[in-house]
Chain A
Amino acid sequence: MVIEVRDLAITLGEFALHEIRMLVPEGEYFVVLGPTGAGKTVLLECIVGLHQPAAGSVHLDGRDVTALRPEERNVSYVPQDYCLFPHMTVRDNIAFGMRLRHWPAERLEQKTQHLADLLHITPLLARRPLTLSGGEKQRAALARALAIEPRVLLLDEPLAAVDERTRERLCDELKAVQRELGTTTIHVSHNFEETLAVADRIGIFHRGRIMQVGTPHEVFHQPANRFVAEFTRSENLVPGRVVQEGERPHFVTDGLRLPIPAAREGPACLVVRPEELRLHGPGALAGDGRVAGQVARTVDKGALVKVLVKAGEADWSVLVPTRIARELQLAPGGAVVLEVPADAIHVLVDDEGPPDGEGPADRESQR
């Protein structure tokens, strides 16, 4: 089932969506990623049919369903708090939608068993939802949503209420179940690891607008604008200019001159993820994209060390493996050489932060 949202706009209390345009192809696992309060839930509820948009439309397989009631859409929805019906057992919760469809008992039984096996909740079928743990509720709610063989599955922060370890396991399972059933899925999240673990493509949401749509690599390495760059923690945003010098364009600031891939001349912003930067010992200046600098501070992040470096009159944040940091004997005030690899550089031309009008949504890749 292809989900298409066209120029959707709605205002609900303090939440508003503006000109939402997105296309989720058949069988894709699409993650809507954004900070809390971005209007992600409202978007899902518009696709379910719980809200009537003020403008725009929702299409399923090319058919305009904007005027259809939720029960006419066959879109399953797992809200953030799961909303398992507390007055029914898990089994009855799962059977709820199938009973409404008057499926024969045999099919109903088969489906329940299949989903219970798939999600490892067979021992829970006779229990009441109030007695389940967060992860168990999540599986039960997922089973209930999948039981009706929905054309589309919408998950609102499905892993927000489970602990870190359960989340990792559930991520894998979610993805595996979605792969097996091939249900087109939109998953709302504010968690990066969760998003990277499941997403085929990501839509970055901010203040009711889509800032960028793309594969995880595109969104994280080629942010479309300053907001996406900052939100995805591309911590190094260096303002400067793109200048054509000889054969190649260069990115130039007062203290830097870096060759870059093709880009339009003019004011621009250099974006590099901290884990893409490299550090070398002092003196290793030979080679492209190397610049001498000084360590300002180091922050231990466990497996990695975050090194704050001052180089080329700019502040850089570099993530290096703990072992490398030890070998380089990084200490505040120490001299280092920073390498900005050419393939890690992304240039935002003429970026003025998140624009108010169109722009980011136009960059949406229409696969």
Chain B
Amino acid sequence: MATAPDAPVAALGHRRDRLLRAILSSFLFAYMGFILAVLLASAIWLTRTDRATGSPYLFGLARDEQLGGEILFAFKLSLVTSAITAGLAMVIGIPSAYALSRFRFRALAFIDTVIDLPIVMPPLIAGIALLLFFRQTMTGRFIEDHLVPVVYTKTGIVVAQFFVASAFAIRALKATFDQINPRFEGVARSLGCTAWQALWKVALPLARNGIIAGLVMTWARAMGEFAPIMMLAGSSPGRTAVLSVTAFLNMSAGHVEASIAVVVLMVIIAALTLVTFKRMGGQGYLW
């Protein structure tokens, strides 16, 4: 639906402008090279021969039931929790984003700031605040004791991811709805749609690609969350340690190959996510 605005094309094609072009581009390519070098280093490192076993680290890891199992468990845990989080974020995000895009609010600046806070605040701080909320406040304690235990549980993982990821979901989805001319709904209304039908039959179908892009991005964001999960859900391997936490734990325990394996895995996931997001014409903040 959303077409990218025409990129500015400067007249830099002229032969005599080549030097300028080369100099400016070199900055771009230098940074790109830096990123690729860092990422490739991890991938290449995994294929190196481990002196202790005589085979590449990757194979050793695959054979190591303890470490391999831990990573596999963390991978599955991450997949499941972030999928749930992404789903929940859509449940919150679609109505919120539509409301933000279509209705006029009095304290819009305030609302905007609050919604953006989880994106801007340091993740560790979000985690500490979450922990405090569930442990030290009446509401938090009530939820813990009577509804669902959150702290140091798998639920906590979802809560920690949700807290941050939903803000991204709302941003991405609002950008999508902003791109859809409200007249589409107006015409639908004139043709006989109720407000609900106009939303269901016109606005949502038009937002479909944006919603998919937002879903994928939110999922990836949840997948990569670290500090808030550490704080709220803890880091017990085989229980609440998600992929990123596993990478951290193994790094500190000296199992470098395990954390590098996680690195490669997560880079691949991130790349796939980005490709999907862009294909779907995703809008709004990425991170």
Contact = CB atoms under 8 A, between A and B. Distances in A.
Contact of B187 (A79, A86, A101): A79
A233 B194 CA distance: 44
Max count, chain A CB within 10 A of own CB: residue among B192, B193, B205, B208: B192
B190 interface: yes
A107 B184 CA distance: 25
Contacts of A49: 189-190
Given A71-B193, A96-B191, A100-B193, A81 B1 contact: no
A86 B183 CA distance: 13
Interface in A182-202: none
A70 interface: yes
Interface string A48-79: 11100000000000000000011101011111
B181 interface: yes
Contacts of B183: 79, 81, 83
- SS class, residues of chain B in contact with chain A: helix
A87 B187 contact: no
Interface string A94-111: 001100110000000000
Chain A CB within 10 A, most for which of B186, B187, B195: B187
Contacts of A231: none
Interface string B168-196: 00000000000001011011111111110
Nearest to B194: A71
Interface in A167-221: none
B200 to A, nearest CB: 12
A76 B202 contact: no
B197 interface: yes
A290 interface: no
B89 to A, nearest CB: 24
Contacts of A148: 191-192
A45 interface: yes
A83 B192 contact: no
Contact of B191 (A50, A87, A100): A100
A144 interface: yes
Contacts of B1: 86
Nearest to A141: B187
Contacts of A76: 190-191
Interface residues of A, number: 25
A101 B192 CA distance: 8
B186 A77 contact: yes
B190 A83 contact: no
A148 B190 CA distance: 10
B206 A86 contact: yes
B9 to A, nearest CB: 24
Contact of B181 (A77, A83, A96): A83
A77 B190 contact: yes
B254 to A, nearest CB: 55
Contacts of A101: 192
- Of the candidates B1, B183, B205, the one having the most CB atoms from chain A within 10 angstroms of its own CB is B183
Contacts of B189: 48-50, 69-71
A73 B195 CA distance: 14
Contacts of A73: 190
A87 B206 contact: yes
Interface string A239-283: 000000000000000000000000000000000000000000000
Contact of A45 (B186, B188, B194, B206): B186
Contact of A48 (B184, B186, B208): B186
A86 B192 CA distance: 18
A224 to B, nearest CB: 32
A69 B189 CA distance: 8
Given A83-B181, A83-B183, A48 B190 contact: yes
Contacts of B187: 77-79, 83
Contacts of A70: 186, 189-190
20 contacts: A48-B186, A48-B189, A69-B195, A71-B191, A76-B190, A77-B187, A78-B187, A79-B183, A81-B181, A81-B183, A83-B184, A83-B187, A85-B184, A96-B191, A97-B192, A100-B191, A100-B193, A100-B197, A101-B192, A148-B192
Given A48-B190, A101-B192, 4 more contacts: A77-B187, A79-B186, A83-B187, A85-B206
Closest 5 CB pairs of A and B: A97-B191, A70-B189, A100-B192, A77-B190, A83-B187
